Amino acid sequence: MTIELKDILPKYGVPDPSIVGKLPKGGASLDFVGHADVTKMLIEIDPNWTWEPVAFDADGLPAYRVENGMAHMAGWLTIHGVRRLGIGSVMHNKPDLLKELASDFIRNAAMRFGICLALWTKQEWHDLDGPVAVNPAPKKAPAKKAPAETAGPDTKLTKVQLTQFVQACAKAQLDADEVAAEAGVELMQATVGDLDKLRAVFKTKVGK
């Protein structure tokens, strides 16, 4: 029996502790669920689930780009006919780079549907009010700190902001694309000036 999209978050949002591992990072450790366990969940939800990269290179392999020592691959995950974007990111010098990128992509894209979302989110998107700080100026001297530059209304939302919005929608069992469409906003092109419209529609739907 397959699982409907609306049932993914209640059933798979918080993973079984027995499959949660620890990943050392920056002197701390992060909880994670491996791609094999996530794949098992995807099969239970929709045996016909699929994924594909957004682009292929000249050799017909998934295209990726390297920035600051990290390789990034964008792709689409489709569950029950609903397609959502995800990003796989790993160190560029991994011996099985494409496999590693696909594994990280599966975890990231599955999160967009609510799978293991509890491991990703630490705060509610709609509680983040106030100005958005971007590109803080470097310190001139230890005793002086330049103020952060406040983003203008035409500044595009960062990846973090978009992720927070998608996570909050998933936790509220809402489709982020539908919320954005109702707000009259193209999600991937959303700007700081669109935040109020997105919040208004989100809060209206949550309050229903």
Q: pLDDT band at residue 152, thresholds of 50, 70 and 90?
A: low
Q: What percentage of residues in the chain have a pLDDT greater than 90?
A: 40
Q: Tell me the pTM.
A: 0.57
Comparing 26-30, 64-68, 186-190, 194-198, the range with the smallest average pLDDT is 26-30
How many angstroms separate the CA atoms of 53 and 61, rounded? 9
% of the chain residues with pLDDT over 70: 80
The amino acid present at 153, given as its one-letter code, is P
The pLDDT tens digits for 23-64 are 766 566 678 888 899 999 999 999 999 999 999 999 999 999
In degrees, rounded to 5, the angle at the alpha carbon of residue 123 between the alpha carbons of residues 19 and 16 is 15
Q: How many CA atoms lie within 13 A of 127 on its CB side?
A: 6
Tell the residue number behind the tokens 């909050």, with chain if given.
Answer: 168
What residues contact 16, with CB distance under 8 A and at least 6 apart?
A: none
Sign, CA dihedral 192-196-200-206, equals: positive
What does the chain come to in residues? 208
